[in-house]
């Protein structure tokens, strides 16, 4: 297939390269052209969305915020071939996903929401979990492409369902990363060896991906981003806006912590920087 890929950041770059390595003709675009250009020669970089979507069968996007998704998908619709499939893999608003699906249908496009989880390592190793909201036949068409990038591909239902699934996933992450940070801080205060403590956590019923992967980074204060604070906070705020009257006290508490981190200049650090909330007097 001829594939267009919009967004070559921490997640998008390795995902696009996996599709190219599988033999597809992949064309990429990024707002910062140099980020797209450095992926060559495996892919072909373009300087505009109009150029990158020309003749594409499937158009993937993974950008920053719902406002970015809205702008990008509308520009894609203005230039792409009718009947092409538009797959947005950004964590975004379920309501927006439904609206774009409905508008796409009136303009001859098949729009899919397919957010991912697994972080930068999942993107690099092609082990992502991908949750999909789409018409069933469209899901069946793109599933082989998704299987190139991920290990767990799950059809969640109609448009918007993929985004709701991703937000539910972020609720679970909120509890896991907060729990790992609190556990390590408690152990430190009580004079325990943190490496030994982390071995206990990851070797028993308290084990989690967050503990195993971000726990070691918390211990050595490695705050390089695999997943940015600003993007996780965006996800948590989406949960807050979509939950209605549902009480989510754990997620609400973790959202408040990341809002404090954001106010203190931590937006471009990795989510494991939550440990600093416990180490410093942040308000």
- Beta pairing class for 116-117 and 128-133: antiparallel
Token readout for 272 is 């494991």
Sign of the dihedral through C-alpha 264, 266, 267, 273: negative
The gap between the terminal CA atoms of the chain, to the nearest Å, is 51
Burial of 188 (0-12, 13-18, 19+ CB in 10 A): middle
Distance separating alpha carbons of residues 102 and 97, to the nearest angstrom:
9
Is the preceding peptide bond at 41 cis, omega within 30 degrees of 0? Answer: yes
Distance separating alpha carbons of residues 12 and 41, to the nearest angstrom:
16
Cβ count near 102 (within 10 Å): 11
- Beta pairing class for 85-88 and 110-113: parallel
Q: How far is CA 22 from the centre of its chain?
A: 22
Choose, from 98, 110, 166, 230, the residue flagged as catalytic.
166
Rounded to 5 degrees, φ, ψ at 131 are: -115, 130
Task: Reply yes or no on whether 166 is catalytic.
Answer: yes
Q: In this structure, what DSSP letter does residue 210 have?
A: I
- Beta pairing class for 110-113 and 116-117: unpaired
Q: Would you name the residues annotated as active-site residues?
A: 166
């Amino acid at each position: 297939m001829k594939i267009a890929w919009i967004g070559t950041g921490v997640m998008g770059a390795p995902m696009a390269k996996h599709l190219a390595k599988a033999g597809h003709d992949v064309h990429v675009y990024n707002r910062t052209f140099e980020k797209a250009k450095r992926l060559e020669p495996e892919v072909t970089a373009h300087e505009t969305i109009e150029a990158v979507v020309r003749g594409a069968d499937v158009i993937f996007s993974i950008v920053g915020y719902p406002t970015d998704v809205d702008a990008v998908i509308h520009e894609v619709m203005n230039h792409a071939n009718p009947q092409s499939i538009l797959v947005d893999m950004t964590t975004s608003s379920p309501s927006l996903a439904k609206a774009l699906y409905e508008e796409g249908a009136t303009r001859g496009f098949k729009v899919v929401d397919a957010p991912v989880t697994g972080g930068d390592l999942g993107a690099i190793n092609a082990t992502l979990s991908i949750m999909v909201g789409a018409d069933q036949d469209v899901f069946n068409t793109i599933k082989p492409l998704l299987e190139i990038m991920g290990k767990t591909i799950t059809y969640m239902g109609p448009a918007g369902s993929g985004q709701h699934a991703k937000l539910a996933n972020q609720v679970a992450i909120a509890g896991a990363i907060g729990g790992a940070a609190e556990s390590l801080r408690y152990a430190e205060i009580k004079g325990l060896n943190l490496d030994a403590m982390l071995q206990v956590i990851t070797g028993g019923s308290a084990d989690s991906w967050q503990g195993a992967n971000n726990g070691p980074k918390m211990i050595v204060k490695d705050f390089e981003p695999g997943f940015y604070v600003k993007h996780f906070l965006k996800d948590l705020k989406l949960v807050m806006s979509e939950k209605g009257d549902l009480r989510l006290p754990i997620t609400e508490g973790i959202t408040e912590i990341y809002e404090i981190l954001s106010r203190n200049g931590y937006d471009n650090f990795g989510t494991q920087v939550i440990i600093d909330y416990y180490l410093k007097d942040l308000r």
